[in-house]
């Protein structure tokens, strides 16, 4: 049984140049992610395995496409019954589990717009995103429901908790299961809004990148290349990356379902390399997206092949891997890691694929077929090979975001003419391989997460002892970068180690656990511009001198 009529982007392995020359996009006028990723298989191969859902207690439940589709249909009907309408926003604040997938699929079938939200987001981070997107519905757990103050979110009409009913939320079971399990997916246009994924920035708060339904089709060639021409017989997909990030949602979950291959749902509260190897073996995973930090932890734990681990493809992105990690992967997995590159606004546009090209350690790879990626100067002029400039993608492109939600000025700033400027600097060699040189902005890349310093600074400054703060990333062997906070204390406040811990805990509880500063440094004054902006480049120089 073949998949949807648009199933594959890259038909079969062939020389890279031939792939590029022969590639053509097939984007129809009408396309609905929920129907294409689940409804199709439920109708044509209902017993096909869709999700292997493993909970923290070790229990495992396998979901067929028919069962998953029925759950998604119930959710879609429940949304409509609650008063939600086409275009309304639905926040999904859950870890990897079947309800997360069903919520996305059901909402998308109904023509609503989903907002993936990291489960570790606490009150401030959660409230900001829900308020900015004017979310009408929130699907969460009891912790998330308790963290939300409905008075601060006038648009929020319904809060649903997978942990059961409470003073803060209605139970998932009570909300979903009374609804019918049949639902005719809305005939959405490929250009219609599908999801808002918040991306970190350095100037001001996070921005909501709006993606259309076509974004799934736009991702396909960028999934197939690093996953060695997925789908193949026996493929089975897993990532430790949360499905609330574009890397988990659109690099793994949705394309995996679209291809009709099983996706393993299991995210560790704290990444455990030995448990990861065990999972790969137990569930016979054949394809994995392993962020660089996960790979580094795994390399520290294991230096030889593990019985039962038989990966056909390993993809990674977010931080640059070097020759030692590639050698380790060849030793342990029997193949190199295919690195790839993109960002929330325009993802998976550069990739390696060891089946059809050489892997150059340190290089991100070549342009994924179907995209036009170049290095341009500040005027949008394409630079010659070897010259450092702005990495950019030319529009139109089906993987490109539509806009920042209700921020037309910020959207316009992302472009120079038809070039979407990705905010990273690098160069392209004569063979077409891209080298990442550094970021234009100050986004911190830590343990696979892209983290904006502004949100952490704002959180720190809500603490009574903090007058001002500046947050930067510091290079780290394991995490790529760690978060370092320079803090100017309020008058009559005494610096102490206990206060450092208190500030770290403040960020953990108010913002998110993965965003807390691993080092807090007290400073008398921050370097500022004449207009009052923190000079993070100067702060990084200061930090480098301190580290010597």
What does the pLDDT read at residue 239?
A: 97
Tell which residue, 199, 197, 198, 203, has the closest CA to residue 440: 203
| CATH classification for the domain delimited by 446-547, as one of 1.25.40.340, 3.30.300.30, 3.40.1000.10, 3.40.50.740 | 3.30.300.30
Domain 31-44+58-211 matches domain 446-547 at the CATH topology level? no
Cβ within 8 Å of residue 497, ≥6 positions away: none
Angle 360-362-366 from CA coordinates, rounded to 5°: 60
The CA distance from 113 to 212, in Å, is 9
Q: Which residue has the tokens 């029997």?
A: 334
Q: How far apart are CA 90 and CA 102, in angstroms?
A: 13
Token pair of 12 as six digits: 């079969």
Cβ atoms of 316 and 351 within 8 Å: the answer is no
pLDDT in tens, the chain (548 residues): 455 555 567 767 789 999 999 999 999 999 999 999 999 999 999 999 999 999 988 899 999 999 999 999 999 999 999 999 999 999 999 999 999 999 999 999 999 999 999 999 999 999 999 999 999 999 999 999 999 999 999 999 999 999 999 999 999 999 999 999 999 999 999 999 999 999 865 556 899 999 999 999 999 999 999 999 999 999 999 999 999 999 999 999 999 999 999 999 998 888 899 999 999 999 999 999 999 889 988 998 999 999 999 999 999 998 778 888 999 999 999 999 999 999 999 999 999 999 999 999 889 999 999 999 999 999 999 999 999 999 999 999 999 999 999 999 999 999 999 999 998 889 999 999 999 877 777 888 898 887 888 889 889 988 999 988 999 999 998 899 999 999 999 999 999 999 999 999 999 999 999 999 999 999 999 998 655 678 888 999 999 998 77
pLDDT of residue 6: 53
Q: What is the DSSP string of 337-401?
A: -EEEE--SSB---EE--TTTS---TTEEEEEPTT--EEEE-TTSPBPPTT--EEEEEESS-TTB-
CA distance 9 to 25: 8
CATH, domain range 31-44+58-211: 3.40.50.12780
Which residue, among 313, 325, 32, 359, has the nearest Cα to 192 in the 3D structure?
32
Contacts of 476 (CB under 8 A, 6+ apart): 446, 482
The pLDDT score that the predictor gives to residue 293 is 83
- Residue 334, classed as helix, strand or coil, is coil
Query: Is 368 in contact with 348 (CB distance < 8 Å)?
Result: yes
Question: Got the DSSP string for 106-174?
Answer: HHHHTT-EEEE--TT--HHHHHHHHHHTT-SEEEE-HHHHHH--GGG-TT--EEEETT---SS-EEHHH
Q: Given CA atoms 71, 46, 224, 337 in this order, what sign does their dihedral have? A: positive
Please report which helix (H) or strand (E) contains residue 438, including its range.
Answer: strand 434-439
**The pLDDT of residue 443:** 81
In angstroms, rounded to a whole number, what is the distance separating the alpha carbons of residues 6 and 212? 17
Residue with tokens 């440094």: 521
Q: 3-class SS at 15? A: coil
Rounded CA-CA distance 364/434 in Å is 6
Please state the domain extents for the chain.
Answer: 31-44+58-211, 446-547
Predicted pLDDT of residue 1: 46
Name, in order, each residue with C-beta under 8 angstroms of 336's C-beta and a sequence gap of 6 or more: 314, 326, 329, 330, 352, 354, 359
Residue 335 CB-half CA count within 13 A: 21
């Amino acid at each position: 049984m073949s998949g949807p009529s648009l199933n594959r982007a890259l038909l079969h392995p062939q020389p890279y140049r031939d792939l590029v020359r022969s590639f053509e996009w097939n984007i129809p006028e009408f396309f609905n992610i929920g129907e294409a990723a689940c409804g199709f298989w439920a109708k044509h191969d209902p017993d096909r395995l869709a999700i292997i859902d493993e909970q923290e207690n070790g229990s495992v439940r396998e979901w067929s496409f028919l069962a998953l589709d029925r759950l998604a249909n119930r959710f879609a009907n429940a949304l409509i019954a609650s008063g939600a309408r086409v275009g309304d926003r639905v926040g999904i604040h859950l870890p990897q589990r079947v309800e997360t997938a069903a919520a996305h699929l059901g909402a998308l079938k109904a023509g609503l717009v989903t907002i993936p939200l990291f489960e570790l987001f606490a009150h401030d981070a959660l409230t900001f995103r829900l308020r900015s997107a004017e979310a009408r519905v929130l699907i969460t757990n009891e912790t998330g429901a308790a963290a939300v103050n409905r008075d601060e979110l006038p648009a929020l009409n319904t809060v649903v908790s997978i942990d059961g009913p409470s003073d803060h939320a209605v139970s998932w079971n009570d909300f979903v299961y009374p609804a019918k399990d049949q639902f005719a997916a809305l005939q959405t246009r490929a250009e219609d809004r599908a999801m808002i994924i918040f991306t970190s920035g350095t100037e001001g708060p996070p921005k909501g990148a709006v993606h259309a339904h076509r974004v799934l089709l736009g991702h396909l060639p960028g999934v197939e290349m690093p996953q060695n021409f997925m789908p193949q017989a026996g493929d089975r997909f897993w990532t430790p990356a949360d499905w609330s990030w574009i890397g988990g949602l659109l690099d793994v979950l949705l394309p995996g379902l679209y291809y009709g291959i099983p996706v393993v749902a299991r995210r560790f509260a704290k990444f455990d390399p030995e448990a990861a190897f065990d999972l790969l073996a137990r569930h016979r995973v054949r394809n994995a997206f392993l962020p660089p930090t996960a790979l580094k932890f795994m390399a520290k734990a294991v230096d030889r092949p593990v019985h039962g681990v038989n990966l056909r493809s390993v993809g990674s992105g977010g931080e640059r891997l070097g020759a030692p990690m590639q050698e380790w992967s060849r030793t342990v997995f029997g193949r190199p890691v295919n690195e790839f590159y993109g960002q929330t606004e325009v993802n998976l546009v550069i990739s390696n694929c060891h089946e059809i090209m050489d892997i150059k350690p340190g290089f991100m790879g070549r342009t994924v077929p179907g995209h036009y990626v170049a290095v341009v100067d500040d005027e949008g002029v394409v630079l010659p090979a070897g010259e450092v400039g702005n990495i950019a993608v030319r529009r139109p492109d089906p993987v490109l975001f539509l806009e920042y939600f209700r921020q037309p000025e910020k959207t316009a700033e992302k472009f120079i003419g038809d070039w979407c400027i990705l905010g990273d600097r690098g160069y392209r060699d004569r063979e077409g391989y891209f080298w990442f040189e550094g970021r234009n902005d100050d986004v911190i890349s830590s343990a696979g997460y892209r983290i904006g310093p502004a949100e952490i600074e704002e959180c720190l400054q809500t603490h009574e002892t903090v007058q001002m703060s500046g947050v930067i990333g510091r290079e780290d062997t394991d995490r790529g970068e760690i978060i370092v906070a320079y803090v100017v204390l309020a008058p009559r406040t005494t610096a102490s180690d206990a206060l450092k811990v208190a500030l770290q805990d403040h960020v953990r509880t108010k913002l998110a656990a993965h965003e807390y500063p691993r080092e807090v440094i007290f400073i008398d004054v921050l370097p500022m511009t004449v207009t009052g902006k923190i000079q993070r480049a100067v702060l990084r120089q200061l930090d480098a001198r301190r580290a010597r």
